[in-house]
Structure 1
Amino acid sequence: MNGGRSGAGPAAPVVRRQRQDAGERPFIVIWEATRACPLACLHCRAEAVPDRDPRELDTRAAEDLIRQVAAFGHPAPLFVITGGDPFQRPDLLELIAYGARTGVRVAVSPSGTPTLTPERLRAVHGAGAVGLSLSLDGSTPGLHDGFRGVPGVYRWTLDAWDAARALGMKTQINTTVTRHNLHDLPDIVRLVRDHGAMLWSAFLLVPTGRGSALGALTAGETEDVLNFVHDIGLTVPAKTTEAHHFRRVALQRRILADRGDDHVAVLGLGPLYRALRDRAAALGLTDGARRARRPPLDVNAGRGFVFVSHTGTVHPSGFLPLGAGSVRERPLTEIYRTSGLFTGLRDPDRLGGRCGACEFRRVCGGSRSRAFGLTGDPYAEEPWCGYVPGSFPHRRELAGLLAGHRAARRGAS
């Protein structure tokens, strides 16, 4: 797969900066509306349960949360209602409509269950939801349903996907990357291409909740996966979640493509990358016209990202269980802008280990959630990154790209 650029005109940014100052306004706020869910997913962060928790934010408190999101200013952060299964809340449509009236864009991330019917999707769309996020963790019922813990989830998910697309809803497909589906990733991408999606997100597992029991990837396997996601970005719009070193990969690959260097040799990619690349070619994913690559967005836990739990506690990420306060007691704007946890995570000079010494630390920063999950220290080095600081050979070109990104970030503040 050729990662080079073609055509005239100025080069697109390799990494997109946030339009607003990330210290003042997050890009996205995720709200765990409930932990109730009929599934038993192997990786579940929420350790979902069958019944709703009486401590959940009720309708009035949820509307107050939406007003707190709007208080960040215009444009308000994207507000994503997730779970558990958001359809377990009878006030879901009411809250979506309230967000629309308040000027907050609302997206929904439901579970693939029998509650996910075309009728409910039409109702969600009609209430004003701007998008839908669905999970697909295997290209076959055996792989996906085995991971999700309930037979039939694969079919429900694909039917909902097609129904959402027919309604004109923007749909994001999320794939949790674990050992069970490493070699299935090209086949999942084929489904994304064939069914159509606004975005495909490869989520690198964070060992928290039930996910603590799943096998970790090696640093080498992680590099192979991230480079495959970079390649496939010419076929489908692709991003990563909890894989912030994907931004490092994007910078490295731009420089190597501009120089005409072999990225496999320079980056030391391994057999998994070659297998993924060969399978993608066999599926025809490398043929035909190329789309413009989607540059990754510079967002990290506490730096453009906020998670609010079902009880109202505020966290830098849903996979980083350290709390910074509660929206029942302090405004979300105040917690995000001033709490020591959030301001600390926005300071790259607080990072330790290889992350602290890395020339990419201001544009990457590593997964703070994975660092905490495996070491107990949110500032520790990224455990699934094998990059040795200072080892990328083209220092001058890299310095130019990093300087341009820093200047763009200062311009947004």
Structure 2
Amino acid sequence: MSAGRAIRRQHQDVADRPFIVIWESTRACPLACLHCRAEAVPDRDPRELDTAAARELIHQVAAFGQPAPLFVITGGDPFQRPDLLQLIGYGQEAGVRVAVSPSGTPTLTPDRLRAVHEAGAVGLSLSLDGSTTALHDGFRGVPGVYRWTLDAWDTARVLGMKVQINTTVARHNLHDLPDIVRLVADHGAMLWSAFFLVPTGRGRGLGLLTPAEAEDVLNFVYDVGLTVPAKTTEAHHFRRVALQRTVLADAGEDHVAVLRLGPLYRRLRDRAAELGLDTGARRARRPPLDVNAGRGFVFVSHTGTVHPSGFLPLGAGSVRETPLPEIYRTSPLFTGLRDTGRLGGRCGACEFRRVCGGSRSRAYGLTGDPYAEEPWCGYQPGSFPHQRELAALLATGGAGAPPPHRPSPELPAQRQDAP
């Protein structure tokens, strides 16, 4: 059994520096997405970090040391900031890799994308929440978004940019996921991320998945990882699934029967086969990265407040008053979230807790307790039948070698469309 097939460790000490820093540069955005964490508005907030404060934030990110965390500028729509190109360039000067996560709006012109690329952005993430105009535009609340997104995606690829596609998994597109993956395979992307909705902002009004449905989707994401590079966002139990599937494959056992997968999984798998996603050239599976809220991940709001995740609205301070490295390393909220001994319920008793930990954001959103058990996970601790083989993986952290020194950017979508 090769542990390297299961989980990737972060390449830095997670108590010392994060893998990624997300900055919500603005909440201004012309869209009205049904799931928006930020409850985006048409105009910029006068309390936003101005250019000088944003440069200071980038300096604080660089102060974590080299290699500096990946710095992702998101929103809202970061193109609403006239200093976007200047800040990307400043990041390059400071030794900080910068990626951009824009909204799918008419601001995504070829000229702007070219300018972002030439300024030094290392990657771009875009949201695709349906394989058709009706599905995607209906979810985003504005006609034309689907076409703007596909055009920007193709333009970025022509420019040579690394593109990540983020998909919000919700009731409107559960059965459309294979068709979305087909588009990702056809247009090409560095990574496809299935984002599991967190009930914050406008997302509180959307229908929630059952734990059984979540399990079916996670196993589908694992399957298509042989066709497109795939990950999840706010679905940390995907790492449990990766470990389980690795053990079962080595044992030659049927994962459908052992994991008791349901009719949704079968429909997704059948549709994937109809679309040819299970045939042709096979790629190496991309092991999921072991990262969680406050553990390798930090979010800075448009006003400078610091949070373990964009979906976990508990604050730990402000970069206007305390340097970001100090907040990340020493605040009780961040140190507490890095302590798996504080997890409650099934998460606290689970043998996978150190490589999963569940979504702290979803736990807080549904229970008010960031240490509560993951509401969308139905796994019963100790129920997996191959505990000895599993322990062999977990003894090494369930992981293979750390990622390369400067890995390809792995971009969340902290606008609630994309740890």
TM-score range, shorter chain: over 0.9
The amino acid that maps onto 2:320 is: R
1:12 Cα deviation after fit: 2.9
SS at 1:73 equivalent: coil
> Which residue is 1:404 aligned to?
396
2:277 corresponds, among 278, 282, 285, to: 285
The Cα offsets for residues 145-174 of structure 1, whole Å up to 9 and x where unpaired, read as 000000000000000000000000000000
1:323 has 2:339 as partner = no
The Cα offsets for residues 227-259 of structure 1, whole Å up to 9 and x where unpaired, read as 000000000000000000000000000000001
Cα distance change, pair 288–352 in 1 and its aligned pair in 2 (3 A): same
**Please, what TM-score do these two structures have when normalized by structure 2?**
0.95
> Which residue is 1:255 aligned to?
247
1:43 corresponds, among 35, 39, 51, to: 35
> Which residue is 2:143 aligned to?
151
Taking the aligned partners of 1:101 and 1:50, their CA distance within structure 2 comes to 32
Contact 1:70 1:104 in 2 (8 A): yes
CA RMSD of aligned residues (A): 1.4
Contact 2:23 2:299 in 1 (8 A): yes
Of structures 1 and 2, the one scoring higher in RCO (CA 8 A, sep 6+) is: 2
1:352 has 2:344 as partner = yes
The amino acid that maps onto 1:216 is: L
1:192 corresponds, among 169, 180, 184, to: 184
Taking the aligned partners of 2:291 and 2:370, their CA distance within structure 1 comes to 16
Cα distance change, pair 409–383 in 1 and its aligned pair in 2 (3 A): farther
Runs of 4+ in structure 1 deviating by more than 2 angstroms, as ranges, are 10-13, 406-410
Taking the aligned partners of 1:323 and 1:72, their CA distance within structure 2 comes to 20
Contact 1:230 1:238 in 2 (8 A): yes
Contact 2:88 2:120 in 1 (8 A): yes
SS at 2:4 equivalent: coil
> Which residue is 1:309 aligned to?
301
1:240 corresponds, among 232, 254, 262, to: 232
> Which residue is 2:260 aligned to?
268
2:86 corresponds, among 77, 94, 102, to: 94
SS at 1:360 equivalent: coil
Taking the aligned partners of 1:377 and 1:397, their CA distance within structure 2 comes to 33
The Cα offsets for residues 102-160 of structure 1, whole Å up to 9 and x where unpaired, read as 10000000000001101100000010000000000000000000000000000000000
Contact 1:18 1:409 in 2 (8 A): no
Taking the aligned partners of 1:284 and 1:252, their CA distance within structure 2 comes to 25
1:408 Cα deviation after fit: 7.1
Cα distance change, pair 166–407 in 1 and its aligned pair in 2 (3 A): closer
SS at 1:300 equivalent: coil
2:124 corresponds, among 132, 141, 147, to: 132
Contact 2:3 2:398 in 1 (8 A): no
> Which residue is 2:57 aligned to?
65
Taking the aligned partners of 2:43 and 2:3, their CA distance within structure 1 comes to 51
Taking the aligned partners of 1:32 and 1:179, their CA distance within structure 2 comes to 27
1:11 Cα deviation after fit: 5.9
1:28 has 2:14 as partner = no
1:222 has 2:253 as partner = no
SS at 1:94 equivalent: helix
The amino acid that maps onto 2:149 is: T
1:296 has 2:288 as partner = yes
Cα distance change, pair 350–105 in 1 and its aligned pair in 2 (3 A): same
Taking the aligned partners of 2:337 and 2:91, their CA distance within structure 1 comes to 29
1:405 Cα deviation after fit: 1.4
The amino acid that maps onto 1:283 is: L
The Cα offsets for residues 332-363 of structure 1, whole Å up to 9 and x where unpaired, read as 00000000000000000000000000000000
Contact 2:5 2:246 in 1 (8 A): no
**Please, what TM-score do these two structures have when normalized by structure 1?**
0.96
Taking the aligned partners of 2:3 and 2:16, their CA distance within structure 1 comes to 29
1:289 Cα deviation after fit: 1.4
Cα distance change, pair 11–395 in 1 and its aligned pair in 2 (3 A): closer
1:182 has 2:174 as partner = yes
2:162 corresponds, among 170, 186, 191, to: 170
Paired positions, count: 403
The Cα offsets for residues 188-226 of structure 1, whole Å up to 9 and x where unpaired, read as 000000000000000000000000000000000000000
1:13 Cα deviation after fit: 3.7
Taking the aligned partners of 2:312 and 2:269, their CA distance within structure 1 comes to 33
Which stretches in structure 1 are left out of the alignment for 5+ residues?
none
Taking the aligned partners of 1:335 and 1:83, their CA distance within structure 2 comes to 22
SS at 2:297 equivalent: strand
Aligned-pair identity (%): 84
Query: Bigger CA drift: 11-20 or 351-360?
Result: 11-20
